[in-house]
């Protein structure tokens, strides 16, 4: 009898810990998790510009803080994990000298007017040809606005034939 009681306590405690640990996370449907990437025609021959459409952010009423900023845990609406807000921004994709893919925002305040952006891990679908898709994958990262250009730069990007996030 005591063994069953102890097992039940362990199961309930584990469940409560999992629920509390996920308070800043929200399950997203595949449609919400997957962003969209649409090419933008430009005259610039040196960069490829795209519009990124993304659902991101969560309710802060149950989130004590999801990002560490100046040594303090804070919550910022419409940033990080979740699907509370529909955001978009124009970005330019480029490769550095080492062949690493990165994206820099072109519109200054598309994602936020703050100087910090908690970008969740997301994959963006791009229709290459009719019925043929490629996915731009951006890993989760905390990015800061460049003080000179006022833009955000995302690093560690990759294109794959299936979404990674």
Q: Per-residue pLDDT tens for 89-108? A: 999 999 999 999 999 999 98
Give residue limits of the domains in the chain. Answer: 28-160
The two three-digit tokens of residue 18, written as one number: 């999992």
The three-class DSSP label of residue 86 is strand
Burial class of 104 by CB neighbour count within 10 A (0 to 12, 13 to 18, 19+): middle
> Which parts of the chain sit beneath pLDDT 70?
1-33, 44-47
Q: How much is the pLDDT for 23?
A: 42
How many other C-beta atoms lie within 10 A of the C-beta of residue 93? 17
**H-helix or E-strand spanning residue 59:** none
């Amino acid at each position: 009898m005591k063994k069953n009681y102890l097992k039940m306590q362990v199961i309930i405690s584990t469940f409560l810990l999992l629920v509390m640990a996920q308070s800043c996370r929200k399950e997203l449907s595949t449609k919400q998790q997957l962003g969209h990437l649409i090419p933008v025609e430009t005259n610039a021959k040196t960069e490829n510009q795209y519009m990124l459409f993304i659902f991101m952010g969560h309710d802060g009423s149950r989130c004590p803080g999801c990002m560490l900023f100046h040594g303090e845990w804070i919550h910022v609406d419409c940033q990080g994990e979740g699907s509370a807000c529909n955001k978009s921004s124009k970005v330019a994709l480029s490769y550095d000298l080492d062949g690493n893919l990165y994206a820099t925002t072109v519109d200054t305040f598309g994602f936020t007017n703050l100087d910090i952006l908690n970008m969740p891990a997301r994959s963006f679908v791009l229709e290459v040809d009719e019925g043929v898709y490629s996915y731009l994958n951006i890993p989760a990262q905390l990015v800061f606005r460049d003080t000179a250009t006022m833009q955000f730069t995302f690093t560690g990007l990759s294109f794959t034939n299936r979404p990674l996030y």
